[in-house]
Amino acid sequence: MTNPLPPKLKSLPASLPTEGAVRIELSEGIPIFRASSAVQNRIEELLEKQQDALLSAEEEQELDSYEEIDDYLSFVNRTIRNLSLTQI
């Protein structure tokens, strides 16, 4: 089993809080990393705005950065889950 390289983040959104951006939940004893409610709310705001009107270049970049962070958290969660499965 080869470990794929983690995705590279180009930047973090300026609106990303420096504290409390990620929360940890337990799922079957395995820690799962998720975006905080505040971050999720900001993403929803951007997606709603995107449906009604064009986003500014800054907002488009912000939304893209959040998507990259989501990909990164998914990678971390998959890696942790896969490691825990090999420990059984």
Within a domain: 40: yes
Residues 23-49 pLDDT 10s: 999 998 999 999 999 999 999 999 999
Within a domain: 6: no
Within a domain: 12: no
**Host domain of residue 43:** 25-86
Within a domain: 18: no
Residues 35-85 pLDDT 10s: 999 999 999 999 999 999 999 999 999 999 999 999 999 999 999 999 988
Within a domain: 15: no
Distance of alpha carbon 35 from alpha carbon 38, whole angstroms: 8
Distance of alpha carbon 8 from alpha carbon 25, whole angstroms: 24
Residue 35 or 7, more confident:
35
DSSP 6-66: PPPP----TTS-SSSSEEEEEETTEEEEEE-HHHHHHHHHHHHHHHHSPPPHHHHHHHHHH
Within a domain: 9: no
